Amino acid sequence: MVDANDIGIAPNPNASQRLHRVAVVLVACTMIGFFWRSEDPLGLKTLLGEVILFLASRPAIQWAKHNRAWFPAFELLCLTTIAFYAIPLLVGHKDLSLYQPRVVTESAMLVIAFLAAANLSFNFRSRSMRPSPWAMAPLLSTEGSRYVPAGMFLNTIYIYVETFTDLLPSEIIGTLRALFFGLGTVAIFVLARQIGQGVISGRTRAFFIVNLAAQVIILFSQLYLIRGISLLALGAIAYSAAKRRVPILWIALILPVVAVLHNGKSEMRKHYWEEMNPLPTLSELPAFFNEWIDFGLQVNRDAESSTQTSVVDRASLIQMLCMSVEGVPSQKPFLYGESYFDIPALAIPRFLWPEKPSSLMANIRLAVYFDLIDPDDPFQYSIAFGMIAEAYLNFGLFGVTALGLFFGVLYKHLSILGTGAPQFSALGILMILLTAWSFQAELVMATWLSSLFQACVVCIGLPLAYHKLTHG
């Protein structure tokens, strides 16, 4: 085991070039495949979907081509638009038939405007910047940084205790969840990156796989797939960024399982949530997942669409953007920043302002605005809008373009500053967290910033304060 505080092994240029060639071929084949299978290859919807796919994949291709040393946080942010917007357009998401072609076209053009603005601002030549010494200083000693596997194990224990016991007082669960989720995020990223670099032992690699599998299985047992999928995606991203190779075998093994679970999720929630059946205990997990897989396979056999289409339907955000374009401003006025009003309050600790608005209020405002939820019981359902739809609802095309410019500038600035930073410096941890948060595309801005801020307080603020007290 090497010192986890090291900046790590420099990217292998030959591996980067191989990854670049594979990425180019993969993107080209994907674009040709969607073009070939389309019922209307020259139709505007197909062409716009292809443009989104190209613009979204270009930053990652350039990252590999130029052997960039920074974590691919911005590149991942762009790639998520393929799953949420490009593929639903290209395969014909079932809800798109509810909207006029003009609405679908305008919605696709908004995604293109976001990606074009983000690419433009990220690629704008930036001068070299020198980070402050405190941002580069390691926050853990060499000895302390060797206990990264222990951090992952502690997160596994916490997830088990929170899920299967009543030992934790309800008033501190939120604080503990933020603490251990931040700790687990950093530990997973660092260990997966070191596996990609080939600098840890086989025993530690096995320890990582067992703990990651345990965390994902326990999280899945609560019928929320997104948290477990996020951990798997984070590990794959960290590994790929270091190895400059996509773990195709692991993806090929895991993706079908996740797809089947996605198919059976609605039936399982109906059986356990609506019918008020208790969720499984630890010993009941094998039977529980066997039941879930049976539901998933049954849905796949009975549905007219394939498993792929089912997953696309659940992951898509394009229909929410179409709903926004159709309704605003023709039927409802722009919000002019209303969903952003609570963002400044996020910086105030709740113990200083107990009545501080929840970060979920922005999402609730949007859902109530379109009569999607009961305003008297707003927390019963959670509707995913995504930041592109939110930006449009507030300021139209200007808001979407400004959002793209904002993310491009922010990520370019931090990517340059964080290049070469020790993993456990303030900048190193921030880049890990940004990478983890880059695929949270379904969140609105207030929720995205709030969860990121909480993770930064735990993973950066507390160690930084301790470092200042002990080192002056």
Residues in the chain: 472
For residue 73, what pLDDT is reported? 92
Distance CA 22, CA 34 (A): 18
Radius of gyration of the chain (CA): 22
Average the pLDDT over each of 1-5, 70-74, 392-396 and give the range with the smallest value. Answer: 1-5
Work out the average pLDDT over 96-116.
95
Distance CA 112, CA 29 (A): 21
Work out the average pLDDT over 431-448.
89
Burial (Cβ within 10 Å: 0-12, 13-18, ≥19) of residue 287: exposed
CA–centroid distance for 328 within its chain = 27
pLDDT bin (cut points 50, 70, 90) of residue 262 is confident
Place of tokens 């293109």: 112
For the stretch 71-105, pLDDT in tens is 899 999 999 999 999 999 998 888 888 999 999 99
Query: Per-domain residue ranges for the chain?
Result: 13-134+378-471, 140-315
- Look at residue 198 and tell me whether its pLDDT is greater than 80: yes
Cα–Cα separations (whole angstroms), residue 262 to 91, 229, 316, 437: 18, 11, 13, 22
CA atoms within 13 Å, Cβ hemisphere of 170 = 0
The 8-class DSSP code of residue 274 comes to: I
Helix (H) or strand (E) holding 177: helix 170-197
- Residue scoring higher pLDDT (271 or 126): 271
Work out the average pLDDT over 436-451.
88
- Look at residue 307 and tell me whether its pLDDT is greater than 50: no
- Residue scoring higher pLDDT (374 or 414): 414
pLDDT bin (cut points 50, 70, 90) of residue 155 is very high
Q: Classify the C-alpha dihedral 233-76-260-265 as positive or negative.
A: positive
| Alpha helix ranges (H) inside 126-169 | 133-136, 148-164
Q: What is the DSSP string of 302-328?
A: H-SS-HHHHHHHHH--HHHHHHHHHHT
Find which of 3-7, 232-236, 386-390, 456-460 is predicted with most confidence, using mean pLDDT: 386-390
For the stretch 202-216, pLDDT in tens is 899 999 999 999 999
Work out the average pLDDT over 41-56.
91
Work out the average pLDDT over 437-463.
87
**Which amino acid type is present at position 84?**
F
- Look at residue 5 and tell me whether its pLDDT is greater than 60: no
